Amino acid sequence: MSERLKPGDTAPAFSLPDADGKQVSLADHLGRKVIVYFYPAALTPGCTKQACDFTDNLDALAGAGYDVLGISPDKPEKLAKFREKEDLRVTLLADPDKEVLTAYGAFGEKSLYGKTVTGVIRSTVVVDEQGRIEHAFYNVKATGHVAKLIRDLSVTL
């Protein structure tokens, strides 16, 4: 079971391919706040709702100084299809080896329909300008999470 991060921890460094296969690293965003959200699978109803919510609020989040990165175990090709089909503007990153998911505590045992399974734990981590964890939310709901996050971060819409 991976260790959950908490405020004050140093955000684990990563470099992952985006939907176009271009490497994106957390270090690219130093000096800006970054919302990193982890989701189980592209092109599924809950994950689509969450990605669309982030896209719909991207301008407000960017205006408040936040970049948004979505990470799933999907391959770049599937992320590209997801982006095109749903007209997404958030940066989607591929972590098929689940190394970053694990480093952030977003992969491990979870309860699914009353059964314990191993998989992606829907999570959102907010990294500050210096690369430290500001907030860490685990087991979040796909629907309504972005609105709650915006309230928690006091982002003006």
Placement of tokens 């490497």 in the chain: 23
Within 10 A of 31 (CB to CB), how many other CB atoms are there?
9
Query: Which residue in the list 26, 34, 42, 47 is annotated as catalytic?
Result: 47
Contacts of 114 (CB under 8 A, 6+ apart): none
Please list the residues that pair with 33 across neighbouring strands: 66
Placement of tokens 């092109």 in the chain: 43
47 catalytically annotated: yes
Contact 120, 31 (CB under 8 A): no
Catalytic residues: 47
